[in-house]
Amino acid sequence: MSVRNFITANTKILCVIGHPIEHSMSPIMHNAAIQDLGLDYLYIAFDVPPNKLKEALKGLKTLNIKGINITLPHKENAINFIDKVDEIAQKIGAINTIKNEGGFLMGRNTDAEGANKALIDAGCEITGKNVVLIGAGGAAKAVSYSLVSDTNKITIINRTEVRAKKLASELKSRAGLNIESKKYSKNILKEEISNADILINATPIGMFPAIDISPVSKKILHSDLFVFDLIYNPLETQLIKDSKEIGCQTLSGLDMLVNQGALAFEWWTNRKPNLELMKLKIIEYLGMK
């Protein structure tokens, strides 16, 4: 038996932090990649409430955790508690990955590149399209950043209007494109979706365990939409199910998750993981639940 099959005092630790964290598939895919490559690493998850984020990051630094993924609701706030943030993540205003180099925490955002690759691989034409983006948090920032230079128009819809306005203002300052912000309501969604080519859900609405709800009524969807739901647990959210029934092209958050995770994995370990294996293990796990 290989020594790498044992957890020892030399085993390097990677993790994900969020709140709640029970839904995360990151340990499934990262540990599969670790085992596949025979690396002496272990990936685990920590539930960190928002008021404990600063303490948690300080503790992870002290414990020499080598790599950290950041998920809801910490992607924006984590920037304030690390030592260095790369240029792209600074522009986005959110991080999802941290690397610990001898107690020096470096942050970056792999969500934007992961989302862009997922859309391209799914055959979604972005250039010149009208996009409706629901949400204005860290994930929404990353996805909108990946789209902003190519689309015709982005309309950001959020329950807290001030957050939508802030994100729209930031995007305008970078690209000067046609970007609007509006407060979430059924009437606004109906109006904007009727003229949209791409609909993106960047909120947790429909995420496990509340899998029977959707941020968008089935009645206002139309078959010309490409619907991208960033949620990956469940693989088919209520929004994705409704969209398929209408005849929309759809994309779940699974490919974005795997893409961004692979980029983080390579940054931490200097090894390229098997993306198909990572994806397969998540599908297998969710299929058993």
% of the chain at pLDDT higher than 90: 85
Q: Is the pLDDT of residue 2 over 90?
A: no
The CATH number of domain 112-252 is 3.40.50.720: yes
- Catalytic sites, residue numbers: 75
Tell me the average pLDDT across 203-230: 95
> What pLDDT, on the 0 to 100 scale, is given for residue 149?
81
Paired residues of 131 in beta bridges: 154, 198
Q: Is the pLDDT of residue 214 over 80?
A: yes
* 3-109+257-288: CATH, from 3.40.50.10860, 3.40.640.10, 3.30.1330.60, 1.20.120.1770: 3.40.50.10860
Q: Is the pTM of this model over 0.75?
A: yes
Listed range (46-60, 64-78, 138-152, 255-269) with the worst mean pLDDT: 138-152
Tell me the average pLDDT across 203-211: 92
Burial 116-127, CB ≥16 within 10 A → b, else e: bbbbeeeebebe
Contact in structure between 98 and 67 (CB atoms under 8 Å) = yes
Q: Is the pLDDT of residue 176 over 80?
A: no
Q: How many angstroms separate the CA atoms of 189 and 225, rounded?
A: 13
Tell me the average pLDDT across 100-104: 96
Q: Domain boundaries in the chain? A: 3-109+257-288, 112-252
Q: How many angstroms separate the CA atoms of 210 and 212, rounded?
A: 6
> What pLDDT, on the 0 to 100 scale, is given for residue 289?
53
3-109+257-288 matches 112-252 in fold: yes
Q: Is the pLDDT of residue 1 over 50?
A: no
The two structure tokens encoding residue 98: 């941290």
Q: Is the pLDDT of residue 31 over 60?
A: yes
> What pLDDT, on the 0 to 100 scale, is given for residue 16?
98
> What pLDDT, on the 0 to 100 scale, is given for residue 213?
96
> What pLDDT, on the 0 to 100 scale, is given for residue 3?
52
Confidence of residue 86 (pLDDT cuts 50, 70, 90): very high
> What pLDDT, on the 0 to 100 scale, is given for residue 208?
87
Q: How many angstroms separate the CA atoms of 243 and 203, rounded?
A: 17
> What pLDDT, on the 0 to 100 scale, is given for residue 126?
92
Tens digit of each residue's pLDDT (9 = 90 or more) over 42-83 = 999 999 999 999 999 999 999 999 999 999 899 999 999 999
> What pLDDT, on the 0 to 100 scale, is given for residue 170?
85
Count CB atoms within 10 A of the CB of residue 275.
17
